[in-house]
Chain A
Amino acid sequence: MNRFILADANKCIGCRTCEVACAVAHRSDGDVSALNEVNFTPRIHVIKGAYISTAATCRQCEDAPCANVCPNHAIRLENGFVHVLQENCIGCKTCVVACPYGAMEVVTYQTVRDTGAAVNVQVTKAQANKCDLCHTRAEGPACVEVCPTEALHCVDRAELERLTAEKRRRTALEASAHNVYA
């Protein structure tokens, strides 16, 4: 089973520390002071509604719609998460439309491409931006590390089973308490 980042809305205070941590973790220079409104493209988003504050990001679906629809096979399930091979991404946004969680975004950035004729031209490169569980980061997902209220968790099979068992137990106990079958 793929691991995924899950936010507990009962603990989230909407501070957006996770967003900045994500943006910094995905910079090759790791330099927070280089962030600006153009390159600030976090893969986790704090959502605030009337009664809820939480953070939304990729669920790393087992049968991932984004991977299924990608025309260039840029999205693959590998290393235990849904991985975008950025060199294959053409920025078509099909994955953005397919994702039921709004976890996928296509962002563009300027880069320099060598045309092969000893001429470097500035080109716009697209990138399908989604949570990669900080797979190259030794300490693991940056958002989980910084969340001041410990609202974020990286859920694996064991954790998911624990959560499910807890819910099952609660439902059963509440049902007996209300004596629904008596």
Chain B
Amino acid sequence: MEKATVVCPYCGAGCKMQMVVDDGKIIKVEAANGKTNQGELCLKGYYGWDFLNDTKLLTPRLREPMIRREKGAPFETVSWDEAIKFVAHRLSDIKAKYGPRSIMTTGSSRGTGNETNFVMQKFARAVLGTNNVDCCARVCHGPSVAGLRATVGNGAMSVSVEDIEKSKCLLIFGYNSADSHPIVARRVVKAKQNGAKIIVCDPRRIEAARIADQHLQLNNGCNVAMVNSFIYTILEENLYNKDYVANYTEGFDALWDVVKDYAPEKVEPITGVPAADVRQAMRTYAKAETAIICWGMGVTQFGQGTETVKSLSTLALLTGQLGRPGAGLAPVRGQNNVQGGCDMGVLPDLFPGYQKVTDAAVREKFAKRWGIDPATMDKENGVKITEVPHLALEGKVKAYYIMGEDPLQTEADLSMVRKGIEALDLLVVQDIFMTKTAEVADVILPSTSWGEHSGVYTCCDRGFQRFFKAVEPKYNVKRDWAIISLIATEMGYPMHYNDEQEIWDELRELCPLYFGATYEKMGEMGHVQWPCPTLEHPGTPILYTDNKFATPSGKGLLFATQWRKPGELIDEDFPMVLCTVREVGHYSCRSMTGNCAALRTLADEPGYVQINPTDAQVLGIKDQQLVWVESRRGKVISRANVSERINRNAVYMTYQWWIGACNELTQDNVDSVTATPETKYCAVKVVAIEDQHWAENHAAQIYSEMKARLRNAVEEAKPATASIA
């Protein structure tokens, strides 16, 4: 028996674990003593690996390169050589005909790791000549990156995961750690045991609210009004740190003018939170010896996501709750390597290491290292993934090379996204599973999975951690970066790497922020947090300890803005708010966890819609009954989960379900800065189904039809008989 050290491929907590392998097969997973997880794992970590064996519980692994000769035709299996040539020639043609900006690419925030993301953005920028590269940070913490870069300079947690348990006060805003990151939730529990004050702002009575000192149960869709009333209270009650504000921040004078209309008493009708509670919460936060603001999608997935992030960071800047152990800002990243995707520059405006694509000197540095003429590089910010469907419909984006993402499951307003995808000339999907997006691809490039390769992930607290290969890949698959290199070479840009470390060393040398984070320093169990500028540097657990911010002036920017209502409001026809949330046992688009026996057993299709008992009673719905949930954009079947923890007039659906897919219902109102969709708020109606017997059969039937369709797409693919290219 052998053991391979890996980092869990699910949430961003960065848990180290060991896969126990016997005769090439994984037997079990054991928790390892990583920096963030301290020998603990949650159910996904312990029981979320059997998808590697192609269980086909939800959808099959991709085993061979496949090509579809024309839209709607069945897949044909081809050799790697044919697939690479096909993709390279089609991309070259489209580039020649429509220009480099007609091609869109994605990195992947999931199992593939940082090295692949670096290679993908290099492919886009050096080979295609476009900044059109993005990742699913766009639909999750994009506003945290943009907001924090504007106010404090770095778009990441300013503290470490362990600081959460050291803090004297946690202000938890729109962040359900128990379902999203159980191993971070563990730190919240520990903080409470250590005597910290816990303040939770959430419309639902989430697990953290249960143990909180104060639960500010705000209405859905009023975050900015809520945070403005926080800022108002801090100013009006003189709770701010005058020395800190004077020495380390700017923009103070403009604040009051914005927040003066947001007295807690005045916004009470909007937020539904008693003014006295708001005032009490801010006194607790401001006076605490140390305090951390934790947030998640409940902040970012709104039309005002970036503005809310900037306003939350303003609370920390006003009170000086930054730059010390247990004091700071904690946007806890959702996916295992979504921080890494951003670190590696799979963002349309930034090179790896957060260097701007609009900076000529930076472009020249990368061009020189990559042996290209800087004049051939794209000088403008590229396209964001949420803009792709629209641009495809306008004929401006013609080809989409998607790696390790499933936009037809995870993006808002799926019927609109489908139309955009259908309008493309070429869709290339590189993945490990037959996802809903892979199903409509023109070319499928099958890659190795987590467990079958090595590399580096960045966990939520900026920590680089290495993960190692546990088993040999069984199918005709290749490593993601090797596939991209082959396409690049075929397109006339020779690209070859021997291993991950060669890629890592190239990117370290190009990124001053990461230069000192060598493979040797990380080792098997190490956790090196950027900035790590020199070989001697141990990494940076806490940012801004010197109160110097990574902004142009070196000062923290104070910010407040007016609250706006969400993009789509409830009305008589669609009287309830739909907010999309997370399922503890499932992850992202569910292609991995849906293929794990234990996790599927705990929760399966068509998924759940959480609803308050009073609302359920009015609608004639009993717990665990199937119901219709309908918006202006679609209608899906789901199972009612009646719970007193849910607020009135709102329902919550986890976005993991392929049958009860809430993104059929969500809307495309996006954040003005980051184009992140407002998936936390749209108007729906919930309708009881009288004939439950029919409903159960119907749900089971469409689930089984979908599974058969996805399985057949792989299993019935015949070898191509005629030449492809």
Residues of A within 8 A of B585 (CB): 15-16
Compute how far the CA of A123 lies from the CA of B210 in the bound complex, rounded to whole angstroms. Answer: 46
Compute how far the CA of A109 lies from the CA of B585 in the bound complex, rounded to whole angstroms. Answer: 26
For A147, the closest partner residue in chain B by CB is: B40
Q: Are B28 and A32 in contact (CB under 8 A)?
A: yes
The 6 closest A-B pairs by CB, nearest first: A50-B644, A33-B50, A13-B178, A17-B43, A148-B40, A35-B597
Q: Are A148 and B47 in contact (CB under 8 A)?
A: no
Q: Which of B28, B207, B604, B643 contacts A13 (CB 8 A)?
A: B207
Which of B80-88, B179-187, B517-525 interfaces with chain A?
B179-187
Please, what's the 1-or-0 string for A34-47, where 1 marks a CB less than 8 Å from any CB in chain B?
A: 11110010000000
Q: Are A146 and B41 in contact (CB under 8 A)?
A: yes
- The reply to whether the CB of A51 lies closer than 8 angstroms to some CB of chain B is yes
- The reply to whether the CB of A52 lies closer than 8 angstroms to some CB of chain B is yes
Compute how far the CA of A37 lies from the CA of B601 in the bound complex, rounded to whole angstroms. Answer: 5
Compute how far the CA of A20 lies from the CA of B601 in the bound complex, rounded to whole angstroms. Answer: 9
Residues of A within 8 A of B598 (CB): 20, 23-24, 32-33, 35, 40
Residues of A within 8 A of B53 (CB): 33
- Ordered by A's residue number, 13 sampled pairs between the chains whose C-beta atoms are within 8 Å are A10-B211, A13-B185, A13-B186, A20-B43, A32-B50, A33-B596, A36-B597, A36-B601, A40-B601, A48-B643, A53-B210, A148-B186, A149-B182
Residues of B within 8 A of A17 (CB): 41-43, 46, 182
- The reply to whether the CB of A30 lies closer than 8 angstroms to some CB of chain B is yes
Residues of A within 8 A of B177 (CB): 13
Compute how far the CA of A14 lies from the CA of B205 in the bound complex, rounded to whole angstroms. Answer: 13
Q: How many A-B contacts are there with CB distance less than 8 Å?
A: 92
- The reply to whether the CB of B192 lies closer than 8 angstroms to some CB of chain A is yes
Q: Which of B50, B178, B183, B597 contacts A14 (CB 8 A)?
A: B178
Instruction: Determine how close the nearest CB of chain A comes to the CB of B583; give it in whole angstroms.
Output: 11
Instruction: Determine how close the nearest CB of chain A comes to the CB of B614; give it in whole angstroms.
Output: 12
Q: Are A20 and B46 in contact (CB under 8 A)?
A: yes
Q: Are A13 and B601 in contact (CB under 8 A)?
A: no
Interface residues of A (CB under 8 A from B): 10-11, 13-17, 19-21, 23-24, 30, 32-37, 40, 48-53, 146, 148-149, 151
Q: Are B584 and A16 in contact (CB under 8 A)?
A: yes
Q: Are A51 and B43 in contact (CB under 8 A)?
A: no
For B602, the closest partner residue in chain A by CB is: A16
Residues of A within 8 A of B43 (CB): 15-17, 20
Q: Are B644 and A15 in contact (CB under 8 A)?
A: no
Q: Are A15 and B42 in contact (CB under 8 A)?
A: yes
Residues of B within 8 A of A52 (CB): 210
Instruction: Determine how close the nearest CB of chain A comes to the CB of B355; give it in whole angstroms.
Output: 38
Instruction: Determine how close the nearest CB of chain A comes to the CB of B414; give it in whole angstroms.
Output: 28
Q: Which of A32, A146, A148, A149 contacts B597 (CB 8 A)?
A: A32
The answer to whether A51 and B183 touch (CB under 8 A), given A16-B585, A33-B50, A36-B601, is: no
For B26, the closest partner residue in chain A by CB is: A33
Q: Are B597 and A34 in contact (CB under 8 A)?
A: yes
**Dominant secondary structure at the B interface:** helix
Q: Are B46 and A146 in contact (CB under 8 A)?
A: yes
Q: Are B602 and A53 in contact (CB under 8 A)?
A: no
Instruction: Determine how close the nearest CB of chain A comes to the CB of B359; give it in whole angstroms.
Output: 43
Q: Are B50 and A149 in contact (CB under 8 A)?
A: no
Most buried by B among A10, A20, A30, A51: A20
Compute how far the CA of A146 lies from the CA of B183 in the bound complex, rounded to whole angstroms. Answer: 12
Compute how far the CA of A16 lies from the CA of B43 in the bound complex, rounded to whole angstroms. Answer: 7
Q: Are A149 and B189 in contact (CB under 8 A)?
A: yes
Instruction: Determine how close the nearest CB of chain A comes to the CB of B202; give it in whole angstroms.
Output: 14
Most buried by A among B186, B193, B598, B644: B598
The answer to whether A35 and B601 touch (CB under 8 A), given A10-B211, A17-B43, A20-B43, is: yes
For A23, the closest partner residue in chain B by CB is: B598
Compute how far the CA of A53 lies from the CA of B210 in the bound complex, rounded to whole angstroms. Answer: 8
For B599, the closest partner residue in chain A by CB is: A20
Compute how far the CA of A11 lies from the CA of B208 in the bound complex, rounded to whole angstroms. Answer: 10
For B177, the closest partner residue in chain A by CB is: A13
Q: Are B182 and A148 in contact (CB under 8 A)?
A: yes
Compute how far the CA of A34 lies from the CA of B644 in the bound complex, rounded to whole angstroms. Answer: 34
Instruction: Determine how close the nearest CB of chain B comes to the CB of A113; give it in whole angstroms.
Output: 27
Please, what's the 1-or-0 string for B156-192, where 1 marks a CB less than 8 Å from any CB in chain A?
A: 0000000000000000000001100011011001001
- The reply to whether the CB of B692 lies closer than 8 angstroms to some CB of chain A is no
Q: Are B178 and A19 in contact (CB under 8 A)?
A: no
In the complex, given contacts A13-B178, A17-B46, A35-B601, what are 13 additional A-B residue pairs having Cβ atoms less than 8 angstroms apart? A15-B42, A16-B43, A17-B182, A20-B598, A32-B28, A33-B598, A40-B601, A51-B210, A52-B210, A53-B210, A148-B40, A149-B40, A149-B182
Q: Are B597 and A33 in contact (CB under 8 A)?
A: yes
Q: Are A21 and B207 in contact (CB under 8 A)?
A: no
Q: Are B601 and A148 in contact (CB under 8 A)?
A: no
- The reply to whether the CB of B55 lies closer than 8 angstroms to some CB of chain A is yes
Q: Are A148 and B42 in contact (CB under 8 A)?
A: yes
Q: Are A148 and B192 in contact (CB under 8 A)?
A: no
Residues of B within 8 A of A40 (CB): 598, 601-602
Instruction: Determine how close the nearest CB of chain A comes to the CB of B311; give it in whole angstroms.
Output: 28
Please, what's the 1-or-0 string for B34-55, where 1 marks a CB less than 8 Å from any CB in chain A?
A: 0000001111001100100101
Q: Are A15 and B584 in contact (CB under 8 A)?
A: yes
Compute how far the CA of A146 lies from the CA of B644 in the bound complex, rounded to whole angstroms. Answer: 28
- The reply to whether the CB of B645 lies closer than 8 angstroms to some CB of chain A is yes
Residues of A within 8 A of B41 (CB): 17, 146, 148
Residues of A within 8 A of B42 (CB): 15, 17, 148
Residues of B within 8 A of A53 (CB): 207, 210
Compute how far the CA of A146 lies from the CA of B210 in the bound complex, rounded to whole angstroms. Answer: 22
Compute how far the CA of A19 lies from the CA of B211 in the bound complex, rounded to whole angstroms. Answer: 22
Residues of B within 8 A of A19 (CB): 602
Compute how far the CA of A48 lies from the CA of B211 in the bound complex, rounded to whole angstroms. Answer: 14
Compute how far the CA of A15 lies from the CA of B207 in the bound complex, rounded to whole angstroms. Answer: 10
Residues of A within 8 A of B597 (CB): 32-36
Compute how far the CA of A8 lies from the CA of B205 in the bound complex, rounded to whole angstroms. Answer: 19
Compute how far the CA of A50 lies from the CA of B182 in the bound complex, rounded to whole angstroms. Answer: 20
Q: Are B644 and A14 in contact (CB under 8 A)?
A: no
For B51, the closest partner residue in chain A by CB is: A33
Residues of chain B in range 596-613 having any CB-CB distance to chain A below 8 Å: 596-598, 601-602, 604
Compute how far the CA of A53 lies from the CA of B185 in the bound complex, rounded to whole angstroms. Answer: 14
Compute how far the CA of A34 lies from the CA of B645 in the bound complex, rounded to whole angstroms. Answer: 33
Residues of A within 8 A of B596 (CB): 33
For A40, the closest partner residue in chain B by CB is: B601
Compute how far the CA of A142 lies from the CA of B344 in the bound complex, rounded to whole angstroms. Answer: 39
Residues of A within 8 A of B50 (CB): 32-33
Compute how far the CA of A31 lies from the CA of B28 in the bound complex, rounded to whole angstroms. Answer: 8
Compute how far the CA of A11 lies from the CA of B634 in the bound complex, rounded to whole angstroms. Answer: 39
Compute how far the CA of A87 lies from the CA of B602 in the bound complex, rounded to whole angstroms. Answer: 29
Q: Are A21 and B186 in contact (CB under 8 A)?
A: no
Compute how far the CA of A30 lies from the CA of B50 in the bound complex, rounded to whole angstroms. Answer: 13
Q: Which of A11, A21, A23, A50 contacts B645 (CB 8 A)?
A: A50
Please, what's the 1-or-0 string for B198-224, where 1 marks a CB less than 8 Å from any CB in chain A?
A: 000000010100110000000000000
Q: Are A20 and B47 in contact (CB under 8 A)?
A: yes
Compute how far the CA of A134 lies from the CA of B423 in the bound complex, rounded to whole angstroms. Answer: 58
Compute how far the CA of A46 lies from the CA of B644 in the bound complex, rounded to whole angstroms. Answer: 16
Q: Are B47 and A32 in contact (CB under 8 A)?
A: yes
Instruction: Determine how close the nearest CB of chain A comes to the CB of B212; give it in whole angstroms.
Output: 11
For B190, the closest partner residue in chain A by CB is: A149
Instruction: Determine how close the nearest CB of chain A comes to the CB of B208; give it in whole angstroms.
Output: 8
Compute how far the CA of A24 lies from the CA of B30 in the bound complex, rounded to whole angstroms. Answer: 14
Instruction: Determine how close the nearest CB of chain B comes to the CB of A13; give it in whole angstroms.
Output: 4
The answer to whether A15 and B182 touch (CB under 8 A), given A40-B601, A52-B210, is: yes
For A148, the closest partner residue in chain B by CB is: B40
Residues of A within 8 A of B46 (CB): 17, 20-21, 32, 146
Residues of A within 8 A of B40 (CB): 148-149
The answer to whether A50 and B602 touch (CB under 8 A), given A16-B585, A17-B42, A34-B597, is: no
Compute how far the CA of A19 lies from the CA of B189 in the bound complex, rounded to whole angstroms. Answer: 20
Residues of A within 8 A of B645 (CB): 48, 50
Most buried by B among A17, A32, A34, A148: A148
Residues of B within 8 A of A24 (CB): 47, 598
For B40, the closest partner residue in chain A by CB is: A148
